[in-house]
A and B are shown apart, each in its own frame.
Chain A
Amino acid sequence: MPERPQQSYFGKIFLIAWREFRHTALTKGFIFGAVAMPILMFGVIGLMPALLSKEVPALVGTIVVVDPSGTIVPRAKAILEKPPTAMEAMEEFARNPPADTGSQINAASEMAGIGSQKIEVTWRGEKAPGAVDGIKSELKDGRILAGASIGAELLDPSKDAKAFELYIPSSLSPKHVKQITRALRQAVADERVARSGVDKELLSRLNNPPDPTTTRVSPKGTEAQENTELRFIVPGAFMFLLWICVFTSANYLLTTTIEEKSNKVMEVLLAAASPMQLLAGKILGYSMVSAVMLVMYGGLGLAGLSAVAMMDLVPPMHLVYLVIFFIMAYFMVSSMMAAVGSAVSDLREAQSLVGPVMMLLIVPLMLWMPIIQNPNGPLATIAGFVPPAIPFVMILRLTAATEPIPLWQTALSIVWGFACAFGMLWLAARIFRVGVLMQGKPPTPRELIKWAFVK
């Protein structure tokens, strides 16, 4: 018989790895689900205000103001025609954030729509207080947009009058009501300031309470600038990035292993490769899937930060830690998923075994806040040495720390974490080798451990 070349041990592993990668990452499902969806989502969120802003309706008509002083109409006219700047709108938004998402989107769209709205308003001032009845009848007939009555008392700085009358037709949109109200309120306020003889600029300066620039000084004397919001967001982003990339690909590993068992393709594969080659190939293949996601999402995040010139929030060392703990987390989570996948015959059976694994993985998500608030506290320190939470907790601690984590803790957690990861991988391999050939009722966690030590 002619001599035939044979596939090498590692050749088989690479073939298996490439097949797993190709049939997971290079599929329409993955490209749409893992790549296009988030980009689309960010895109939609970014575009939403712009899309909505086009719908801001024009403000056209006549506004009649009963204004005995004659000063309010020109002021209000100027304010309405000069919309607030984006900065002013944002400040307003930050001071008074709307409670629900709908209003937030609305407010955001208003901000985006600023300047693009068509405003053609004719103002008419009435001196006689009795003109209110005329305003009402004109409103009824739909001849005017709105009417208001500003009492003389309201403009007197020595009086404590707080309200003016506004008359609007039932059909006027809330946005237009808000715009008119804002113009009138501001006009009254400006008139009151003018009458009191105080410089408006001075008043604004006097009234503006200053913001602190916070510096944290540790007992060792190190100093760090405080940025409260980002102190929560950046470490969280690191951990979620790690969690999502690792968990998504480990989940793929779980489902394809189960699929191979339920499809009965497993025995065909085992005639060509050993269980160890199969497991190694799978873990390698999905590590590539995971890495693609990490680079993609992480890259998107970094691109976003660099776009707003905030790259200094992510020192290069943090990226090094991200890679180290990503590898550790991937091995830990994929080992658990491979063991579970090999042990069950279908996805439904997997639920009972995936449950405990998920519980373990959710712990770091729950500890997010307490760890960020006190990255060197006892909870964070201890959790940083408990597998499989190690990589998630450590990335939180290292990126959240307002004072450095002791080097020995970082080094020990890396060494200990990798030791645990390889221990888990070894256990998973033992279970996998038995599990892939098993059919029938799913094993209990105790049986799984027993398999690991079968000769």
Chain B
Amino acid sequence: MSLGMSFGTSSASSSAPAAPSRARPSGNAAVRIDNVMKRFGSVQAVKGISLEIPERSLCGFLGPNGAGKSTTIRMIMSIISPDSGSVEVLGSSALAMKDRIGYLPEERGLYRKMKVGEFVGYMAKLKGVHPTGLARRIDDWLERLALPGVSKRRCEELSKGQQQKIQLLASIIHAPDLLILDEPFSGLDPINGRLVTDLIRSEQARGATIIFSTHQMHTAEALCDKVVLINKGDKVLDATLAELRAKHDDRGLVCEPRTDARTFADAALARGIATAARANDGGSVDLDLAPGTDADAAMRAALEIAPMRSMALRRMNLDDVFVELVGKSDGEHKKGARIDA
């Protein structure tokens, strides 16, 4: 067991009953973390991350396994406290704001012997939901989650995917202002994945700020306003999707010439339209444009080489951004390691 950890849950919680204020988040940031660091034994899990998550935004935490996403989330939740740096949640601390936060931890857990309705009700009451009408509310939600009539069943009788949806329900039943979901899509089939996607969208529409971590780039791309990419405890990207698109969307063309693809690719390179050209098996050609190139001019120049079946500006692909940034940051880590040595 790793020691040398300090836990922040005690100081505020062991003192007098917390009387959380309903202070609005300062400067419209639902979460603001400043230079937080966390070390577990010899592993520096988080190396000085700072970020702000605006109110009512939908923010994706991306990053490879073991990057420090869950540690960062647990520090936001005040389940563990950072070694240094500060965390502000809804203008206060997560400890004081517990009842206004919904949290789905990475490791799922339910009381196996408890009935579904009872479990969700218990969590709701712990978060301050009044018992009047609660059962009805739970039933409505279960229906919405395509789990009608499971209220009286024991948690252990449900499938893994169903249990996950119940846990998600337990984290949103109290209509939180901030919803933190650690890997909400893992282990869900496409139908349930879509159901959860819709649910996240509706929670945002209700006015909640949502942070979720995921490995699924297409989900993040489809859902997020903002993405934060964490790799090896460092933040390597923090941008809105709009910013990313502006930066990456016009960086390439996808052409489908009516002539031989390879000949077209060579010609495009020779005329200096692209810095790299790849002929694909299906007869299309990917052209990478040099930074600062006018995309419209490049399209006109491409049309002069050969007639086209189709031609389009290549859309940004978060997968590529992810691979590129993680690759770059890994390279820097290796370089740094060599220098240190």
Q: Which residues of A contact B (CB under 8 A)?
A: 1, 3-12, 15-16, 19, 23, 260, 263-277, 429-430, 433-434, 437-443, 447, 450-451, 454-455
User: Are B99 and A270 touching (Cβ within 8 A)?
Assistant: no
Q: Does B10 contact A (CB under 8 A)?
A: yes
Q: Is the CB of A273 within 8 A of B20?
A: no
A11 CA to B12 CA, complexed, in Å: 17
With contact pairs A264-B107, A267-B79 given, residues A455 and B6 touching in the complex (Cβ less than 8 Å): yes
A440 CB contacts on chain B under 8 angstroms: 1-2
Residue of A whose beta carbon sits closest to that of B114: A23
Whether, in the assembled complex, B174 has its beta carbon less than 8 Å from a beta carbon of chain A, the answer is: yes
- A sample of 12 cross-chain residue pairs with beta-carbon separation below 8 angstroms, ordered by A number, consists of A4-B129, A5-B130, A9-B17, A263-B110, A271-B101, A272-B126, A272-B127, A274-B13, A429-B14, A433-B7, A439-B1, A440-B2
A7 contacts B22, CB within 8 Å?
no
Assembly CA distance A317 to B80 (angstroms):
49
Query: A9, B109: Cβ atoms under 8 Å?
Result: no
- The interface residues of chain B lying within 8 Å CB-to-CB of A438 are 1
Q: For B110, list chain A residues within 8 Å (CB).
A: 263, 265, 268
Looking at the assembled complex, report how far the CB atom of B155 sits from the nearest CB atom of chain A, in whole angstroms.
Answer: 9
CB distance from A429 to the nearest CB of B (A): 7
Residue of B nearest to A13 (CB): B17
B170 touches A268 (CB 8 A): yes
Find out whether the CB atom of B123 lies under 8 angstroms from the CB atom of A3. Answer: no
B315 at the interface (CB under 8 A from A): no
For B14, what are the chain A residues with a Cβ–Cβ distance below 8 Å? 274, 276, 429, 433
In the complex, how many angstroms separate the beta carbon of A445 from the nearest chain B beta carbon? 13
Q: Which B96-128 residues sit within 8 Å CB-CB of chain A? A: 98-101, 103, 105, 107-114, 122-123, 125-128
Question: Given A264-B108, A270-B9, do A4 and B100 touch, yes or no (CB 8 Å)?
Answer: yes
A-B contact count (CB 8 A): 120
Question: Which residues of B lie under 8 Å from residue A429 when comparing CB positions?
Answer: 14
Per-residue A-contact encoding for B160-172, CB less than 8 Å = 1, 0 else: 0000000100110
Q: Which residue of B9, B99, B125, B130 is within 8 Å of A433 (Cβ)?
A: B9
Q: Given A6-B127, A19-B122, A264-B109, list of 10 further CB < 8 A pairs?
A: A1-B177, A4-B99, A4-B175, A260-B109, A263-B111, A267-B103, A268-B167, A271-B98, A271-B103, A443-B1
Contact A9 B18 (CB under 8 A): yes
Whether B170 pairs with A434 at a CB distance below 8 angstroms is no
* Assembled-state Cα–Cα distance A437/B170 (Å): 20
**Interface hits, B239-256 → A, CB 8 Å:** none
B13-A268 in contact (CB<8A): no
Residues of chain B with a CB closer than 8 A to A267's CB = 79, 103, 105, 107, 109
- Inter-chain CA distance A440–B1, complex, in Å, is 5
Select which of B113, B126, B170 is within 8 A of A12 by beta carbon: B126
Complex interface: chain A residues within 8 A of B100 (CB):
4, 6
Residues of A within 8 A of B10 (CB): 274-276, 430, 433
Name the distance in Å between B110's Cβ and chain A's nearest Cβ.
Answer: 6
Which residues from chain B contact A441 at a C-beta distance below 8 Å?
1
Most A CB within 10 A of own CB, among B99, B112, B175: B99
Cα distance A451–B7 when bound, in Å?
A: 10
Collect the chain A residues with CB atoms within 8 Å of residue B107's CB. Answer: 264, 267
Of A9, A271, A439, chain B has the most CB atoms within 10 Å of the CB of A271
Complex formed: what's the CA distance from A388 to B3 in Å? 29
* Docked complex Cα distance between A385 and B340 (Å): 60
Give the Cβ gap from B86 to chain A, nearest Cβ, in Å.
Answer: 17
Chain A, residue nearest B174 (CB): A4
A450 to B5, CA, bound (A): 12
- Is B265 in contact with chain A by the CB < 8 A criterion? no
Contact, CB under 8 Å: A447 / B3 = yes
